[in-house]
């Protein structure tokens, strides 16, 4: 394939020209409107921009066949769904296409897309008779066999293809998609094998990484699943315009992962981008709340200076839980209101984004002059819905029956004088 022609640059083009040509091409060949064209342009750019890959490509380019124009024309017809035109165009040149594996496989693709799987199969066989080590031919033969319901043959052909070309992401993608609906153990084994060759194997379809983590989380190591998530995060952040499907998959999967510590730091990196998703719908907010609560869970409950009840109140508020458990969590805090003031102040000073969620309540907690008022307020709210609840506020408020002296130790437990702390 002529990568120079695809990018519209001469063979002596400098790297800066390669980059400019790539960005110009992707404006018209976008991933959503022309995924095939985008991948071709991306491959051309990645090959020509890398000095070693470019040198290898230039060395082998002169040995390629003379049918490049025919290949590019036929591929464009297929991309535009002009299948009959592609078939007629290729078969009108028998001396050319029968001696060119790439043209033969394009003919097989056109046959397959036209519903002529028998002709597609025979064309693949003809290619393999001349080129038994052609991974692309084995790959497409597997696609044809799968479409015809021939599981064992498809498995054989896909397996042969990945062995011949283990760094070909397109082949692995077809193979894994086939196995996912047929054999879990084989799917898992093949996924691990692909990742062993390169964890970046699916960078062009990076949405697959969270899907793999969620599907295999009981059967892979923590190190493997963390590496997959880190790879997803890397390419998600690099993608200037992730597709709607990527956001939806992330919001469906990450809330289930964020409660586990090994994933929290990676998910934290992409949370702001998820919040600013241009495709957000009403249902996405619940997922975002779960992710933020999961991240808060690790930050607060793993901190010895944050009271567990205060951490729980924060997390429940983020999840939007019903007021009933929140009221009782507030009641738990005011039972030891003086002892918890230090923890509340620590939350205020070090995690202001979490403090603000319950600022109205917590501002009163750290103010000793508001203690009796707050106790009555919280227990009044509880007794409104639960008349049988004993409102034992006398003991709780007794500590504030006398005003704290300005030079007395502050009730919040800071160790400072009241006048220099909460007074």
Question: Residues 137-182: pLDDT tens digits?
Answer: 999 999 999 999 999 999 999 999 999 999 999 999 999 999 998 8
Predicted confidence (pLDDT) at residue 212 exceeds the cutoff of 80: yes
Is 342 inside a domain boundary?
Answer: yes
The mean per-residue pLDDT over the stretch 400-416 comes to: 59
Is 416 inside a domain boundary?
Answer: yes
The mean per-residue pLDDT over the stretch 125-137 comes to: 94
Nearest CA to 380 among 318, 312, 331? 331
What is the per-residue pLDDT for 383?
61
Is 231 inside a domain boundary?
Answer: no
Predicted confidence (pLDDT) at residue 285 exceeds the cutoff of 90: no
The mean per-residue pLDDT over the stretch 58-81 comes to: 74
What is the per-residue pLDDT for 389?
43
What is the per-residue pLDDT for 417?
66
Nearest CA to 20 among 40, 48, 61? 48
Judged by phi (left if over 0) then psi (alpha if -120 to 50, else beta), residue 220 lies in beta
Q: How far apart are CA 400 and CA 376, in angstroms?
A: 13
The mean per-residue pLDDT over the stretch 118-144 comes to: 95
Is 157 inside a domain boundary?
Answer: no
Q: What is the mean pLDDT of the chain?
A: 84
Is 27 inside a domain boundary?
Answer: no
What is the per-residue pLDDT for 172?
96
Query: Nearest 5°: phi and psi at 146?
Result: -60, -45
Instruction: Give residue-wise pLDDT tens across range 20-29.
Output: 899 989 888 8
Q: How far apart are CA 359 and CA 344, in angstroms?
A: 10
Domain span holding position 418:
330-423
Higher pLDDT, 372 or 103: 103
- Which uninterrupted H or E stretch holds 294? helix 284-301
The mean per-residue pLDDT over the stretch 175-200 comes to: 95
pLDDT winner (highest mean) among 12-16, 195-199, 312-316: 195-199
Q: How far is CA 266 from CA 98, 114, 210, 281, in A?
A: 51, 44, 12, 24
* 117-121, 195-199, 279-283, 318-322: least confidently modelled range: 318-322
Contacts of 303 (CB under 8 A, 6+ apart): 311
Higher pLDDT, 344 or 418: 344
What is the per-residue pLDDT for 1?
66
Nearest CA to 75 among 50, 109, 39, 118? 109
What is the per-residue pLDDT for 318?
82
Beta carbons of 235 and 203 less than 8 angstroms apart: yes
Is 390 inside a domain boundary?
Answer: yes
Nearest CA to 25 among 44, 11, 10? 44
Is 402 inside a domain boundary?
Answer: yes
Is 419 inside a domain boundary?
Answer: yes
Name the token pair of 8. Answer: 């519209």
Q: How far apart are CA 298 and CA 296, in angstroms?
A: 5
- pTM of the predicted model over 0.85: no
Higher pLDDT, 17 or 259: 17
Name the domain count of the chain. 1
């Amino acid at each position: 394939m002529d990568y120079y022609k695809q990018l519209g640059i001469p063979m002596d083009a400098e790297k800066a020209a390669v980059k400019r040509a790539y960005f110009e091409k992707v404006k018209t060949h976008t991933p959503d409107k022309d995924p095939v064209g985008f991948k071709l342009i991306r491959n051309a750019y990645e090959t020509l921009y890398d000095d070693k890959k470019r040198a290898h490509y230039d060395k082998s380019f002169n040995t390629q066949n003379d049918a490049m124009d025919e290949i590019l024309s036929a591929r464009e017809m297929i991309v535009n769904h002009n299948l009959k035109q592609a078939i007629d165009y290729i078969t009108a040149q028998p001396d050319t296409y029968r001696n060119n594996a790439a043209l033969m496989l394009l003919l097989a693709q056109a046959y397959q897309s036209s519903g002529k799987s028998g002709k597609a199969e025979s064309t693949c066989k003809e290619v393999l008779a001349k080129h038994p080590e052609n991974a692309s031919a084995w790959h497409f033969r597997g696609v044809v066999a799968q479409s015809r319901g021939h599981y064992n043959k498809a498995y054989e052909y896909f397996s042969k293809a990945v062995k011949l070309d283990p760094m070909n992401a397109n082949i692995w993608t077809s193979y894994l998609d086939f196995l996912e609906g047929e054999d879990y153990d084989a799917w898992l084994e093949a996924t691990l094998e692909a990742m062993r060759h390169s964890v970046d194997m699916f960078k062009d379809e990076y949405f697959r990484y969270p899907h793999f983590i969620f599907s295999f989380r009981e059967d892979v190591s923590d190190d493997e699943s963390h590496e997959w998530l880190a790879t997803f995060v890397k390419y998600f952040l690099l993608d200037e315009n992730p597709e709607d499907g990527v956001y939806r998959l992330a919001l469906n999967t990450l809330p289930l992962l964020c409660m586990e510590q090994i994933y929290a730091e990676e998910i934290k990196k992409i949370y702001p981008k998820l919040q600013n998703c241009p495709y957000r719908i009403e249902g996405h907010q619940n997922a975002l709340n779960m992710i933020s609560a999961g991240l808060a869970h690790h930050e607060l409950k793993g901190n010895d200076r944050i009271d567990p009840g205060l951490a729980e109140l924060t997390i429940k508020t983020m999840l939007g839980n019903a007021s009933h458990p929140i009221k009782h969590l507030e009641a738990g805090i005011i039972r030891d209101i003086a002892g918890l003031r230090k923890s509340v102040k620590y939350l205020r000073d070090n995690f202001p984004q979490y403090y603000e969620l319950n600022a109205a309540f917590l501002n009163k907690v750290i103010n000793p002059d508001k203690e009796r008022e707050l106790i009555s307020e919280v227990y009044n709210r509880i007794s409104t819905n639960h008349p049988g609840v004993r409102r034992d506020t006398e003991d709780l408020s007794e500590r504030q029956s006398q005003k704290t002296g300005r030079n007395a130790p502050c009730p919040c437990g800071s160790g400072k004088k009241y006048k220099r702390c909460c007074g």
